[in-house]
Amino acid sequence: MREQVLVTGGAGYIGSHALVELCNSSRDVVVIDNLCNSSEVALSRVSEITGKPVRFYQGDVGDRVLLDQVFKDNNISSVIHFAGLKAVGESSEKPLEYYRNNVAGTLVLLEAMRSASVKQLVFSSSATVYGTDAPVPYVETLQTGNTSNPYGTSKWMVEQILIDAARADAGLSVALLRYFNPVGAHPSGLIGEDPRGIPNNLLPYIAQVAVGKRPELSVFGDDYPTPDGTCRRDYLHVVDLAKGHVRALDWVANNTGAEAFNLGTGRASSVLEIIRAFEDAAGVEIPFRIAPRRPGDLPAFWADASKSERILGWKAELGLAEMMVDTWRWQSRNPDGYRSAAEEGQLESEPA
């Protein structure tokens, strides 16, 4: 049996795009996802794009019995760990749920990996681990911690666990991938970001305004110390981000220890710049109003991704125009996200 990559949370936004790139790199994939914030339709769309099957187990990463069965049934050589709750605001309202899912769930996964003698892990981390006082651009050598919300703290905690685990096990190899702001969609228009309820992130909200699902966008603050007064962020095309995971898998296959890598473009765009870029791409006007600042929003941050280019051989290739065009293609063709395709034929799940 060929070696396989286990992808936790593989039916989600970033996970589904990573599956495409993994399949394109001739890797066989196995997915675990509890579908709490994702759709099985995404997996059938991945198979449609790649022409390759996706073996899917519906269940929770904290379910040790299920994990042991997955490792027993398959020839897993490495794991990409996406599964986790990720809404910053919600994490402040439900901290216990975030710590149980993101931190405790990772511990269960690590224990199952140890029992199965699987030593290679790529972890979906976040730029939030740099905290509120880090200077820009963020570099991997900065001190982490001092996070402003339980979501960021949970990512930081998991990083510390993985670093300690790699120190204790000389054969363990871990890539900590610190994301900035993933946006966009696959150029096919078949998979993309499909938030449930009110979007927490800027671009899916703009896209929903563009298709008439929401009346207007709120821009939180226009008095920041930035050129146009709005917050600036490092936006990264999700396809570039997905390709970074393939490069990280190559790294963990040939190295040991835990190493952090920033995945970003190294450029920051403001909220108003994103609005204008989307309007240009979609040919529609985005109505917006200026609203009060949100607590915890930083004026600006972006990545220094030179380490990823130097060590992983990875560099972001897609620009703002592609991010906006691909987002609009996905949203305009799927105005209700995957829910509009919920009655299509879907993959059969393995019994949990």
At residue 83's C-alpha, the angle toward residues 64 and 344, to 5°, is 105
Domain shared by 240 and 286, yes or no: no
* Mean pLDDT in residue range 212-218: 96
Helix, strand or coil, per DSSP, at residue 274: helix
Last residue of a domain, one of 213, 245, 263: 263
Q: In this predicted structure, what is the pLDDT of residue 178? A: 98
Domain shared by 148 and 241, yes or no: yes
Q: In this predicted structure, what is the pLDDT of residue 346? A: 42
Domain shared by 225 and 94, yes or no: no
CATH number at 210 reads 3.90.25.10
Domain shared by 275 and 297, yes or no: yes
pLDDT tens string 87-128: 888 999 999 999 999 999 999 999 999 999 999 999 999 999
How many independent structural domains does the chain possess? 2
Domain that holds residue 293: 202-233+266-333
Say which of 138, 151, 205, 235 is annotated catalytic: 151
Domain shared by 227 and 250, yes or no: no
Domain shared by 299 and 179, yes or no: no
Q: Please, which pLDDT band fits residue 320 given cuts at 50, 70 and 90?
A: very high
CATH number at 51 reads 3.40.50.720
Q: Where are the beta strands (DSSP E) in the chain?
A: 4-8, 28-33, 55-58, 76-81, 120-126, 173-179, 181-183, 217-220, 232-233, 235-237, 257-263, 269-270, 288-291
Domain shared by 249 and 278, yes or no: no
Domain shared by 165 and 209, yes or no: no
- Judge contact between 247 and 276, C-beta under 8 A: no
* Mean pLDDT in residue range 220-231: 97
Domain shared by 87 and 220, yes or no: no
Reported pTM: 0.95
Residue 99 appears among annotated catalytic residues: no
Domain shared by 61 and 209, yes or no: no
Is the C-alpha dihedral spanning 185, 190, 191, 193 positive or negative?
Answer: positive
- Judge contact between 155 and 129, C-beta under 8 A: yes
Burial of residue 168 (CB within 10 Å: 0-12, 13-18, 19+) is exposed
- 139 is a domain residue: yes
Q: In this predicted structure, what is the pLDDT of residue 1? A: 65
Q: In this predicted structure, what is the pLDDT of residue 347? A: 43
d(CA 255, CA 352): 33
* Torsion from C-alpha of 224, 226, 231, 233, nearest 10 degrees: -150
* Mean pLDDT in residue range 229-258: 98
DSSP per-residue letters across 179-219: E-EEE---TTSSS----SSS-SSHHHHHHHHHTTSSS-EEE
Is the C-alpha dihedral spanning 15, 20, 26, 32 positive or negative?
Answer: positive
Domain shared by 310 and 255, yes or no: no
Q: In this predicted structure, what is the pLDDT of residue 89? A: 84
d(CA 28, CA 9): 16
Q: In this predicted structure, what is the pLDDT of residue 303? A: 97
